[in-house]
Chains A and B, each alone.
Chain A
Amino acid sequence: ETGVTQTPRHLVMGMTNKKSLKCEQHLGHNAMYWYKQSAKKPLELMFVYNFKEQTENNSVPSRFSPECPNSSHLFLHLHTLQPEDSALYLCASGPGLAGEPYNEQFFGPGTRLTVL
């Protein structure tokens, strides 16, 4: 688990707050991902960065804003969230293309977000 770290582990925020989630990977990977995990639903891919460039944005509301300053760090900036945004937010890193055989994605422990 030390390969991908996330902070904070738990976050409670009001709908008018601004907060940021941080992810750091120590695995030398080129790709980083943000996922949302809600109860009884499959993981939802939110954003993908390859070599610091955003390559995918799966119709995520603009109240979620990602930032990837380098290949080891990934942020998710949050503002004016809604209660339905409460979920576990997982960061992952990997060598690159998910469709390639044996390309692994390594997940962080997640941030449990509660929006009041």
Chain B
Amino acid sequence: KNQVEQSPQSLIILEGKNCTLQCNYTVSPFSNLRWYKQDTGRGPVSLTIMTFSENTKSNGRYTATLDADTKQSSLHITASQLSDSASYICVVSPYQTGANNLFFGTGTRLTVIP
């Protein structure tokens, strides 16, 4: 069964600290993995997209890693800011011609406090 699991469910950190969010998936065959940031009351916004051949990708203070062998990804946030408070959603696409389906994790709710 194709699944995407994220941990932790929620996380509270102090402003300025780093944190790492985890994503494990069983989707196969695999095409790409995306991390989205969703602010409260807004739609998800893409942070990174990685294919199976990419191990790491950065977007400012956000760095995503991917291990396609173990089917794990992480999102590392450096020097957190209050504006990083949001839900972070891991999304996996299967490698399937004509596919429109994406597999979504339930997200990690990050709260950055001053």
List the interface of chain A (C-beta within 8 A of B).
1, 4, 31, 33, 40-43, 45, 48, 50, 55-56, 90, 92, 97-110, 112
Contact of A97 with B105 at beta-carbon distance under 8 Å, contacts A4-B43, A104-B46, A109-B43 already known: no
Q: Can you name 9 extra interface pairs (CB under 8 A) apart from A99-B97, A110-B42?
A: A4-B43, A42-B104, A56-B101, A90-B44, A99-B94, A101-B32, A103-B93, A105-B46, A109-B41
Question: Which are the 4 A-B pairs with shortest beta-carbon distances?
Answer: A107-B43, A99-B99, A42-B104, A43-B104
List the interface of chain B (C-beta within 8 A of A).
4, 31-32, 36, 41-46, 49, 51, 89, 93-107
Which A residue's beta carbon lies closest to that of B29? A99
- State the Cβ distance, B23 to closest chain A Cβ, in Å: 12
A107 in contact with B44 (CB, 8 Å): yes
A101 in contact with B104 (CB, 8 Å): no
- State the Cβ distance, B30 to closest chain A Cβ, in Å: 10
Please report the C-alpha to C-alpha distance between residue A103 and residue B93 in the assembled complex, in whole angstroms. 10
B106 in contact with A98 (CB, 8 Å): no
Please report the C-alpha to C-alpha distance between residue A103 and residue B41 in the assembled complex, in whole angstroms. 24
Q: List 8 A-B contacts (CB under 8 A).
A: A40-B106, A41-B106, A48-B100, A97-B100, A99-B96, A101-B31, A105-B102, A110-B41
